[in-house]
Amino acid sequence: MRWHYRDPPLVWLFVVAYAMHLAEEFFGGFPEWFAFIAGERLPRDAFVIINLTALAVMAAAAHAATRRESLGWLAIAIATVVSVNGLAHLLGSLVSAGYSPVLVTGVVLYLPLGMLALLRAWHHVAPAFFWRGVVAGLAAHAVVVLIALSTAITAP
């Protein structure tokens, strides 16, 4: 069976993967490890608020993408976010020469899942539609990173 980029089981798998990713981040010490990047640790309560909000947004986007073809670019955006995040954690491990919390879910779940959806979308949609999703995903990831950085830097 060849997956379509916005098949509900594939798109909803991103939401499940994100929940698993968050558990690995939380229990793996990502908020504290974040100090390596930001110079300050990310408070755990801020981490939870940021990520539960992002999880709700991802679930809403997944719902919309699977319901209306015109919103399929949201599935591409989700795939972009998880692909970039998986790569960022891999890079974080390389730069820190150690385990970056969520390296496992980032590499084992995010990268294959994100790349599968992006490759399927590349073959199913017009280039402008594809790039709308990619740009939206890059922007969404950048916003989350900037919020986390500003929260860590301004935390007491």
Report CA dihedral (2, 102, 78, 146) to the nearest 10 degrees.
-160
Q: Over the stretch 37-72, which tens digit does the pLDDT of each residue have?
A: 778 878 899 899 999 999 999 999 999 999 999 999
Q: Whole-model pTM?
A: 0.92
- Are 28 and 102 in contact, with CB atoms under 8 Å apart? yes
| Ordered mean pLDDT values, 10 residues apiece, the chain (156 residues) | 78 96 91 81 89 97 96 97 93 80 86 94 95 98 91 73
